[in-house]
Structure 1
Amino acid sequence: MDSTIILILLQDGVVNGAIYALLGLALVLVFVVTRVIFIPQGEFVAFGALTLAFLVNGKVPGTVHLLLIIGILTCLAELYAALRSHNWSGLPRTLLWALVLPLALYLVAPYVASTKTPLWINVIYSLALVAPLGPMIYRLVYQPVAEASVLVLLIISVAVHFALTGLALVFFGAEGWRTPPFISGDVQMGPVSWTAQTFFVLGTCVVLIFALWLFFERTLHGKALRATAVNRRGARLMGISTDMSGGLTFTLAAVIGALSGMLIAPVTTIYYDTGFLIGLKGFVAAIFGGLISYPLAAGGALFVGILEAFSSFWASAYKEVFVFTLIIPVLMWRSFVTHHVDEEE
């Protein structure tokens, strides 16, 4: 192995690590706010990539119909809750984002799904289709059991993963897809030619992480999420709605997952179940931070990406084994350095 091969592998590892960092941050965010180990995070990766791939090929994506169906179910659940509690104040807002928005996206889908549509419009439309799935899933599945134990929430997450994987197969099919790169061309750096797409991915990840930092530091909703993450009961006593926090958190997770899928789709063929494996690698990165530390999760993601790249060169058949075996020493290390704290403390 010479220096050129090392630099090429580092390029692949850094790009993959940046994607895993975004997913790891999303997993940490969901866990600290809602106590949900969100196994289906990878499904948003597949939904985002496949939705964009369908659009750039001039086809109406299955997400259009999926969003409308889940939106109707969300409205029915909210209507049933309003009937039981005799509180109708939140129903108009739910109808707006869970029924009117999916219906509007459904009506404009034939006009957007064209090979002549600019790529940036396809990206925005894909985000508009995938992002509402996050709060809808939270409202249907997690909000009714928000006070359950972490173990129960984990079991529910596994069930949601299998359900979303099956829905992805129904609405997208078993065929693999790729999307065109956002930026074409190469940049020569020493003996290695780096693609412009690589710098676009890294730049987008940096911008997104910085935007998340601004959101949590400078906005009222971001501070509400931070308060909920520190102490759920205390946040409720201060008037912060944990339902609002959960829905907003799942919205951010859906946006991050969809963007990650769009960024990785030009370099990897995406199938309906590809997101699960990518999401698990993000989970390994999140474990580095104990599901509570964003910087450690980001650092762990870069390490996972580089380890995967070099493992694929040395023993490509066992690269997944190397990556997922890494979680064992990390868990052992965290078990020695972390003191047990009860859930309500």
Structure 2
Amino acid sequence: MTAELAALLAQDGIANGAIYVLAALGIVLVFLVTRVIFVPFGDLVACTALTLATLEERRLPGTLWLVPALAVLAFAFEAVTLWRAGAAARLPRAALAWLALPVLPVVATLAATRWDLPDGVLVALTVALVLPLGPLLHRVVFRPIADAPVLVLLIVAVALHFALSGLMLIAFGPEGMRPRLLLGGAVEIGGLVFTGQMLLMLGTSAAMSLLLWLFFEHTMPGRALRATAVNRVGARLMGIRPAGTGAVAFLLAAGLAGVAGVLIGPINTLAYESGFIIGLKAFVGAIIGGLASYPGAVAGALFVGLLESFTAFWDSQLKEVVVFASLLPVLVLRSLLAGGGADENEAEEEL
């Protein structure tokens, strides 16, 4: 392998790794705050790409009925909870949070699709449509079982993945779709040619990582999320509501999934089931990074992108096998470093 070929493979691996970075950050964020391994993260990525492609074809995407349906369910769950707690006076506020706000992007999209809109507006509408899915799924699926063991939460997350895949099959059909490139052209840097879309992927991934860091370091909601991730009981004693931080974590994760879907859609044809493998590779990166560290998740995701790229050069049929098999030495090494003496309760506390 020549140095020039190695540089090209590294370029491709880092570009793919930029998408895995966004997904890994979302998975780690949700896990630290709620203990949920968000398996359906990749489904939100695919949903974003399919929604954008459908809007570009001047058709109405299935997201327009999926979001209101989840909003009605979420409001029903919240209304029952408030009624049982004797807090019926808070129902109007709940209706605003769980019905009006999630449905607002749907109404805006229905009104806007009458005109030929520029790509930037379509992207904004697409992300706005996907954004409420995170908090709505948290309210309907995970909040009622928030105190369940991690294994139960994982089983429910896997079941949710299959449910979302089925709903997306109904909403978008079995055929794959690909949105238009957001940024064309190419730039030569250091002898390597970077397409506009690739530069957009790299720049957006870096910018989102920076914004996430600023959010955690310099905002009160970000500090509340950090406190909940460190000690859920202590955060609750300090007046931080785990339900609220969980909704914010899922909202941020849905935003990251929306950005990732907009970026990866134009370079890969995605279908209703395509997001699972993207989320799984990002999860591998998060595990390699420790599943408890954002910088570790970034490094692990970039490693997965590079490993996938170089493996595909040798044998494209083995790239998934090698990526997933890379977990084994990492897990064995961590087990050896931990001494292998942790009992079952200690292991669950670590998760």
The TM-score normalised by the length of structure 1 is 0.95
Q: In 2, Cα distance between the equivalents of 1:306 and 1:324? A: 13
| Partner residue, 2:173 | 173
| Partner residue, 1:327 | 327
Q: In 2, Cα distance between the equivalents of 1:89 and 1:218? A: 34
Percent pairwise identity: 48
**Alpha-carbon contact 1:55-1:114 (below 8 Å) kept:** no
SS at match of 1:101: helix
Q: How does 1:248-327 map to 2 (within 5 A)?
A: 248-327=248-327
Q: How does 1:166-205 map to 2 (within 5 A)?
A: 166-205=166-205
Q: In 2, Cα distance between the equivalents of 1:277 and 1:89? A: 44
Deviation at residue 63 of structure 1 after TM alignment: 0.5
Q: How does 1:203-282 map to 2 (within 5 A)?
A: 203-282=203-282
| Partner residue, 1:139 | 139
Unaligned 5+ residue runs, structure 1?
Answer: none
Deviation at residue 90 of structure 1 after TM alignment: 4.3
Deviation at residue 93 of structure 1 after TM alignment: 3.0
Shift in alpha-carbon separation, 1:14–1:174, aligned structure 2, 3 A: same
Shift in alpha-carbon separation, 1:231–1:91, aligned structure 2, 3 A: same
| Partner residue, 1:57 | 57
Deviation at residue 261 of structure 1 after TM alignment: 1.0
Give the counterpart letter for 1:239 in structure 2: G
SS at match of 1:266: helix
| Partner residue, 1:84 | 84
**Alpha-carbon contact 2:17-2:302 (below 8 Å) kept:** yes
Q: Deviations over 1:254-299 (max 9, x none)?
A: 1111111111111111111111000000000000122101111111
Deviation at residue 79 of structure 1 after TM alignment: 1.2
Give the counterpart letter for 1:106 in structure 2: V
SS at match of 2:117: coil
Q: In 1, Cα distance between the equivalents of 2:114 and 2:313? A: 39
Q: Deviations over 1:53-74 (max 9, x none)?
A: 1112211111011001110111
Deviation at residue 192 of structure 1 after TM alignment: 3.1
Give the counterpart letter for 2:125 in structure 1: Y
Deviation at residue 6 of structure 1 after TM alignment: 2.1
Aligned length: 345
Q: In 1, Cα distance between the equivalents of 2:173 and 2:63? A: 12
SS at match of 1:193: strand
SS at match of 1:15: helix
**Alpha-carbon contact 1:49-1:261 (below 8 Å) kept:** yes
| Partner residue, 2:45 | 45
Give the counterpart letter for 1:230 in structure 2: V
Q: In 1, Cα distance between the equivalents of 2:130 and 2:5? A: 38
Give the counterpart letter for 1:189 in structure 2: I
Shift in alpha-carbon separation, 1:196–1:115, aligned structure 2, 3 A: farther
Q: In 2, Cα distance between the equivalents of 1:247 and 1:104? A: 18
Shift in alpha-carbon separation, 1:94–1:338, aligned structure 2, 3 A: farther
Unaligned 5+ residue runs, structure 2?
Answer: none
Q: In 2, Cα distance between the equivalents of 1:150 and 1:209? A: 27
Deviation at residue 343 of structure 1 after TM alignment: 5.1
| Partner residue, 1:28 | 28
The TM-score normalised by the length of structure 2 is 0.94
Deviation at residue 48 of structure 1 after TM alignment: 1.1
| Partner residue, 1:149 | 149
Q: In 2, Cα distance between the equivalents of 1:192 and 1:280? A: 30
SS at match of 2:306: helix
| Partner residue, 1:9 | 9
Shift in alpha-carbon separation, 1:90–1:253, aligned structure 2, 3 A: farther
Q: Which moved more, 1:63-72 or 1:328-337?
A: 328-337
Deviation at residue 233 of structure 1 after TM alignment: 0.4
**Alpha-carbon contact 2:150-2:348 (below 8 Å) kept:** no
Q: In 2, Cα distance between the equivalents of 1:337 and 1:28? A: 22
Show structure 1 runs of 4+ deviating over 6 A: none
Deviation at residue 344 of structure 1 after TM alignment: 5.6
Deviation at residue 118 of structure 1 after TM alignment: 1.3
Q: In 2, Cα distance between the equivalents of 1:170 and 1:342? A: 40
Shift in alpha-carbon separation, 1:293–1:337, aligned structure 2, 3 A: farther
**Alpha-carbon contact 2:79-2:94 (below 8 Å) kept:** no
Q: In 2, Cα distance between the equivalents of 1:318 and 1:210? A: 34
Deviation at residue 83 of structure 1 after TM alignment: 1.6
Give the counterpart letter for 2:272 in structure 1: Y
Q: Which moved more, 1:330-339 or 1:14-23?
A: 330-339
Q: In 2, Cα distance between the equivalents of 1:9 and 1:74? A: 45
Q: In 2, Cα distance between the equivalents of 1:163 and 1:343? A: 27
| Partner residue, 1:119 | 119
**Alpha-carbon contact 1:59-1:114 (below 8 Å) kept:** no
Deviation at residue 89 of structure 1 after TM alignment: 5.2
